[in-house]
Amino acid sequence: MIETRKLQTAPGLVFDASVGGAQGAPLVLMLHGFCVSRYYWNNQIPALATAGFYAVAPNQRGYAPEARPDPAAFDNYVVENVVNDALDIVKAAGYGDRRFHLVGHDWGGSLSWIIADRWPERVASLTMLSRPHPAAFSRAMQLDPEQPNRSRHHKELLEPGAGPRLLAENGKWVRDRLARNGVPQAAIDLHLSVIGNPPAMEAALAWYRARGPRHDPIGPTKVPTLFIWGDADDTVGRMSAEGTAEFIAADYTFAALAGVGHYAADQMPEKVNELLLAHLAKHPL
């Protein structure tokens, strides 16, 4: 069973979160990415609850209406702020400074790499969907002739008028992108119930607009890591996916899913659950 909780953090932001399981059980924090929402984890939360975990999947900064500072002020959406949100949400969920399992996809994956790098003692295990290690991705941008083209949408999302264009015709851009990646129609509708309005979309795009060059590159990850990548992912090529292994200084599992696109948790939930639960069982708190 999935419930909705409002988690108020110390800075005064209120995050809508999907939760499942018994509070006090080992925490699994789940961070979604762009043009989806907390509902991305709907197929994982019940499985985690049944396995004895407490899963918390928030709508992230800007996606949650009560955690939406002005997106025109890009400083509100810099990486430092959204990374801190994650740890604040852990506290708001009642876990203080305790260890937890971390699961991330897309932008949520980017944050998860940073969190695991900065606070490895807090993260019992890391599960990554789609997003390769930043060092592997940076190398692929230089050496893989296909990767810059796969990442071209990043520039498109910075263009003036991107928000209205993505939402035109009842969110056609978002609907088409998710459908191309095998996301079921019901899940698409749920994601658009969160992001399919101008204030939410502008806030989601502010994550891209606020992003600058990283001055503190992430080193080898010291947290046990599971990386799930679909070989039909149109944003992440094989070079960066397979190259991630070189930047993990801990137990590492790489799962390449044939025919799966960017949104594996929506497209192949049973396989994702199988891999995730095995990883968590291998690395208890």
The yes-or-no verdict on residue 215 having pLDDT over 60 is no
Question: Alpha-carbon distance 215 to 228, whole Å?
Answer: 27
Tens of pLDDT, residue by residue over 34-60, are: 999 999 999 999 999 999 999 999 999
In 3D space, the residue among 82, 99, 118, 129 whose CA is nearest the CA of residue 244 turns out to be 129
Delineate the domains of the chain, giving CATH numbers in brackets: 3-282 (3.40.50.1820)
Q: Report the pLDDT averaged over residues 56-67.
A: 99
In 3D space, the residue among 39, 73, 47 whose CA is nearest the CA of residue 183 turns out to be 39
Q: Report the pLDDT averaged over residues 137-155.
A: 74
| Lowest-confidence pick of 134-138, 152-156, 226-230 | 152-156
Tens of pLDDT, residue by residue over 176-211, are: 999 999 999 999 999 999 999 999 999 999 999 998
Asked if 162 and 244 touch (Cβ cutoff 8 Å), the reply is no
The yes-or-no verdict on residue 4 having pLDDT over 60 is yes
For every residue of 27-71, DSSP letters joined together read EEEEE--TT--GGGGTTTHHHHHHTT-EEEEE--BTTBGGG---T
pLDDT at 281: 99
Alpha-carbon separation of residue 29 from 48, 93, 135 (angstroms): 11, 10, 24
Q: Report the pLDDT averaged over residues 206-227.
A: 86
pLDDT at 284: 97
Q: Write down how long the chain is.
A: 285
**DSSP designation for 182:** T
Q: Report the pLDDT averaged over residues 133-138.
A: 91
Residue 125 φ then ψ, to 5°: -155, 155
Q: Report the pLDDT averaged over residues 232-256.
A: 95
In 3D space, the residue among 7, 15, 5 whose CA is nearest the CA of residue 69 turns out to be 15
Asked if 126 and 53 touch (Cβ cutoff 8 Å), the reply is no
Extended strands (E) in the chain: 3-8, 14-20, 27-31, 54-58, 100-105, 123-129, 225-230, 252-257
pLDDT at 157: 83
pLDDT at 217: 80
Alpha-carbon separation of residue 38 from 3, 66, 143, 234 (angstroms): 12, 15, 34, 22
pLDDT at 211: 84
> Half-sphere exposure of residue 54, counting CA atoms within 13 Å on the CB side?
16
pLDDT at 143: 76
The yes-or-no verdict on residue 214 having pLDDT over 80 is no
